[in-house]
Chain A
Amino acid sequence: MSIDIKKLVLDALKPREISIAELSKAICKIEGVDNVSINVVETDIKTETIRMIIQGNSICYEEVAKVLAENSTALKSVDEIAVSKKITPKLV
């Protein structure tokens, strides 16, 4: 049996120097991630609050958090998560 994260909706804060194009590409490079969409919710002088929707067949949350840190993006909250369970039938 394996439980996989299929969808993550994250609220994060990033400096304006980091482009959402680069950030979304960096997240999409993670194994198990298929789609990434980023919306800029709020723009400040130095920062931008973003809402990220990450979808995939097996998203590694720790890896996403690592890529965000690598791109100077602070994770504020996990607003939504979808997981699914897969039972592999045992061969008798």
Chain B
Amino acid sequence: MLRRIRRFRKRARKYFSVAGAAELSRRYFVMNSFDGALAILGVVMGAYITGKADAHLIINSGLGLALATGISGFVGAFLSEKAERSRKIKEIEESIMMEIKDSIIYRASKFVTFALAVVDGISPALTIFLTLIPFMIHEISPSALSLQYAMVASIAINLSTLALLGIYLGKIASANRLKYSLLTVAMGLAIVAILFLTGAGV
């Protein structure tokens, strides 16, 4: 089993290298995780400023959001990648004047299309799910975590996720990780502030 996983990882790495998709997968991951994190932050804050926050409602809205962004991310990335990569395959076939249906480029292209779609679908759903964990704990045992604390914990998890994404971005860019993480957290805080300000007027 372990050998099979190792073999799969080796093959996946080779396919990603042939298809030049490592950079793209990182970009998809950060972009969509960021999207998911900010979207769920909007849902949580939106519920909070109504003053009638309900954990059950937040969880259901959040899971609905995770499902919708997950499916939309998967399908969107799959279709766009498939179209782009089919075009590239045709271009390669024309340039070397040979069909490459049985070649490594073709297999890598098919594998990477699916893998990128999975990254695109899972990344926002993952950040949304992480933010919802405190509400789930509250639903299971309200005495263990009150709704107020669940709300604070949820926002803290969300901002931490944003900070981690920033650190990851800084690592990719080989730049100041703190600067990147402060930037992503500032985006989250800006959403919180805007929702507070606009919500106060409602």
Contacts and interface: CB of A to CB of B under 8 A. Distances in A.
Interface of A: 13-15, 17-18, 22, 44, 46-47, 69-74
Contacts of A14: 96
Contacts of B95: 15, 44, 46-47
Contacts of B18: 17-18, 22
B19 interface: yes
Interface of B: 14, 18-20, 91-92, 95-98, 100, 102-106
A25 to B, nearest CB: 11
Given A72-B106, A74-B97, 16 more contacts: A13-B96, A14-B96, A15-B105, A17-B20, A17-B105, A18-B104, A44-B95, A46-B91, A69-B103, A70-B104, A72-B92, A72-B96, A72-B103, A72-B104, A72-B105, A74-B98
Contacts, number: 43
Nearest to B100: A72
A46 B92 contact: yes
Contact of A17 (B19, B97, B98, B102): B19
Contacts of A46: 91-92, 95
A47 B105 CA distance: 14
Given A17-B20, A18-B18, A46-B91, A70 B102 contact: yes
19 contacts: A13-B96, A13-B97, A14-B96, A17-B18, A17-B20, A18-B18, A44-B95, A46-B92, A46-B95, A69-B98, A69-B102, A70-B102, A70-B103, A70-B104, A71-B104, A72-B96, A72-B105, A74-B96, A74-B97
Contact of B103 (A13, A22, A47, A71): A71
A51 to B, nearest CB: 16
B95 to A, nearest CB: 5
Contacts of A18: 18, 104-105
A73 B99 CA distance: 10
B80 to A, nearest CB: 19
A69 B96 CA distance: 11
Contacts of B92: 15, 17, 46, 72
Cβ-closest 3 pairs across A and B: A72-B103, A74-B98, A74-B96
B6 to A, nearest CB: 19
Contacts of A44: 95
| Residue among A17, A18, A74 with most chain B CB within 10 A | A17
A69 B20 CA distance: 20
B89 to A, nearest CB: 9
